[in-house]
């Protein structure tokens, strides 16, 4: 079957291995990517077929159909076999013979892992009597090739295993070269595929932004990283369309595993003190500045959104200890999505990115992330905005010590009610309200990025200056989230 369909999917591609590109058979099955490399076994210019299974090698001058154990119901019986062509590899067979050679059209090779082999109903030495009902018993070799090429996606082959033609077939193949194939080209070699690697796709990272040997990707390659952030394979197809199809299939397999992985994570974290449920998680690429240079590069990061925070990890966290140790943790309440969409243009087209700004005690911290598919961009963008609003509803208010008109006070921001300034309590005093204003009265706000915050309430209370005793950015960003949350609840936009 072709990539993108249900069940086992396979194709001939290339893998970057030991500094060179090598041909590889790629199978995608049950959430696992299986890579098998080819080994060519030559013996005096030809190879014997396996006496056990005629699907394992080509018919040539050293193989004997008479020695092949063919099931009784197959020998000399007309059979109809349906084959679904693959986008890469076609039917996965080679043929020999034709009227000009006084031979029937015979299957000379069946390529392991491709369409014909997956039927498990065709044999080397089968004569092709018809293709989709078109009689080939008197066809030339070229006519047979054309019939197979134009047969469409689903091909119905009428075949018959002819033991008696083997002696003539052997003589002809030793004298002539009239072999054509609807599978990969090869010269007198049998394709023996040895499994190189199995890559379980759960929690893997996939990207089509890959550079090999200093050459930028032209859209035909993609790279897979394991959950620990290590490169598992760089694969390349001959055509952009095939590469895109396989990229989407592998990406979909990874995406389908994420909800189950998230449930497993939440089960692990359920008994952890202060546990916060993980709502969204997965791999992103973050733009970072390389140490000791001004060069910017993209680095894979594992990101997660909880009830209150956005967490970033170098590798996929698997244990409670891992989850407790992100290299960055930012409160969603003080984080703002400032961009989401395509940016730039290169050989791969516009990149899909989103950026965040977070108010911290050290100022504003910015992050630029890249995703691979539009659906991911939508998922993360919505999750960040909705996550911040959810955090506002969950936390409801923040308090901070401020100085106002030389008086030590406490400023409260409430997600629904707005601003409240109270005099700081002493041992002998009770808390007293100095002023309060709803969000609707706020005309503008500004800060000096150091310690001062100005709130302009217009004709009512005018402009109020507050000394926050530190960087005002966390309060400013929380204020924006509360405003955004309230306007969203009211069905308005900022």
Mean pLDDT of the residues in the chain: 82
| φ and ψ of 54, to 5 deg | -65, -5
* Same domain (yes/no): 406, 382: no
493 versus 393: which is more confidently predicted?
A: 393
- Residue in the block written with tokens 């996550």: 387
Give percent of the chain above pLDDT 90.
Answer: 51
123 versus 292: which is more confidently predicted?
A: 123
Rounded-to-integer distance, Cα 388 and Cα 461, Å: 30
Confidence of residue 431 (pLDDT cuts 50, 70, 90): confident
The helix/strand count (H/E) of the chain reads as 7, 30
Rounded-to-integer distance, Cα 115 and Cα 416, Å: 63
CATH number at residue 205: 2.30.29.30
* Same domain (yes/no): 404, 463: yes
Residue 41 has pLDDT above 50, yes or no: no
pLDDT of residue 175: 34
Confidence of residue 37 (pLDDT cuts 50, 70, 90): confident
pLDDT of residue 113: 75
How far from each other are the two terminal CA atoms of the chain, in whole angstroms? 50
Rounded-to-integer distance, Cα 414 and Cα 396, Å: 6
Average pLDDT for 122-146: 90
pLDDT of residue 195: 61
Residue 214 has pLDDT above 80, yes or no: no
* Domain carrying residue 222: 10-37+196-250
Rounded-to-integer distance, Cα 8 and Cα 2, Å: 8
Rounded-to-integer distance, Cα 367 and Cα 375, Å: 20
If one counts the domains in the chain, the total is 4
* Same domain (yes/no): 423, 350: no
9 versus 423: which is more confidently predicted?
A: 423
Tens of pLDDT, residues 54-76: 333 333 333 333 344 567 777 77
Average pLDDT for 341-357: 79
Average pLDDT for 111-140: 88
* Same domain (yes/no): 210, 223: yes
* Same domain (yes/no): 19, 97: no
Buried b (16+ CB within 10 A) or exposed e, 108-138: bbbbbbbbbbbbebbbbbbbbbbbeeeebee
From the list 35, 356, 71, 33, the residue with the least C-alpha distance to 204 is 33
Rounded-to-integer distance, Cα 248 and Cα 205, Å: 13
Tens of pLDDT, residues 76-115: 789 999 999 876 667 888 888 888 876 789 888 788 778 8
Residue 345 has pLDDT above 80, yes or no: no
What is the DSSP pairing of strand 309-313 with strand 328-331? antiparallel
For residue 431, is it within any domain? yes
pTM of the entire predicted model? 0.68
Q: Which residues, in sequence order, are bridge partners of residue 369?
A: 286, 354
The CA-atom distances, in angstroms, between 482 and each of 64, 263, 336, 389 are 81, 30, 11, 8
């Amino acid at each position: 079957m072709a990539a993108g369909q249900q069940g086992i999917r396979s194709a001939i591609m290339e893998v970057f291995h030991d500094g060179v590109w090598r041909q590889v058979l790629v199978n995608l099955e049950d959430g696992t990517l299986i890579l098998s490399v080819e080994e060519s076994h030559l013996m005096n210019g030809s190879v014997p077929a396996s006496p056990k299974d005629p699907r394992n090698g080509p018919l040539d001058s050293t193989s004997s159909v008479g020695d092949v154990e063919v099931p009784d119901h197959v020998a000399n019986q007309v059979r109809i076999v349906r084959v679904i062509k693959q986008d890469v590899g076609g039917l996965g067979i080679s043929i020999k013979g034709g009227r000009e050679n006084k031979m029937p059209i015979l299957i000379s090779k069946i390529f392991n892992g491709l369409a014909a082999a997956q039927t498990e109903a065709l044999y080397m030495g089968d004569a092709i009597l018809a293709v989709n009902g078109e009689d080939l018993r008197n066809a030339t070799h070229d006519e047979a090739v054309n019939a197979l090429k134009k047969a469409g996606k689903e091909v119905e082959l009428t075949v018959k295993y002819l033991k008696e033609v083997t002696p003539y077939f052997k003589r002809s193949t030793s004298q002539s070269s009239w072999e054509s194939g609807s599978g990969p080209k090869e010269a007198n070699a049998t394709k023996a595929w040895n499994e190189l690697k199995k890559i379980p796709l759960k929690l893997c990272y996939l990207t089509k932004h890959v550079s090999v040997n200093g050459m930028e990707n032209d859209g035909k390659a993609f790279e897979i990283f394991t959950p620990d952030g290590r490169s598992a394979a760089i694969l390349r197809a001959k055509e952009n369309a095939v590469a895109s199809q396989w990229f989407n299939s592998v990406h979909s397999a990874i995406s389908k595993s994420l909800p189950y992985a998230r449930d497993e994570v939440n089960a692990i974290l359920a008994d952890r003190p202060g546990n916060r449920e993980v709502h969204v998680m997965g791999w992103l690429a973050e733009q970072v500045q390389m140490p000791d240079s001004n060069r910017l590069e993209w680095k894979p990061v594992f990101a997660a959104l909880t009830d209150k925070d956005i967490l970033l990890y170098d590798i996929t966290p698997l244990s409670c200890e891992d989850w407790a140790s992100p290299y960055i943790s930012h409160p969603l309440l003080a984080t703002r999505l400032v961009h989401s969409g395509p940016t730039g243009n290169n050989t791969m087209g516009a990149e899909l990115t989103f950026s965040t700004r977070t108010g911290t005690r050290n100022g504003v911290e910015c992050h630029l992330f890249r995703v691979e598919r539009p659906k991911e961009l939508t998922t993360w963008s919505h999750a960040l905005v909705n996550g911040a609003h959810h955090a506002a509803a969950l936390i409801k208010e923040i308090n901070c010590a401020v100085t106002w008109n030389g008086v030590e006070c406490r400023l409260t921001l409430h997600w629904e009610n707005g601003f409240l300034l109270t005099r700081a309590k002493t041992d002998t005093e009770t808390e007293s309200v100095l002023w309060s204003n709803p969000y609707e009265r706020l005309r503008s706000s500004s800060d000096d990025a150091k310690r001062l915050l100005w709130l302009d309430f217009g004709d009512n209370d005018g402009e109020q200056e507050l000394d926050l005793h530190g960087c005002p950015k966390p309060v400013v960003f929380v204020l924006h989230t509360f405003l955004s949350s309230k306007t969203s609840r009211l069905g308005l936009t900022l």
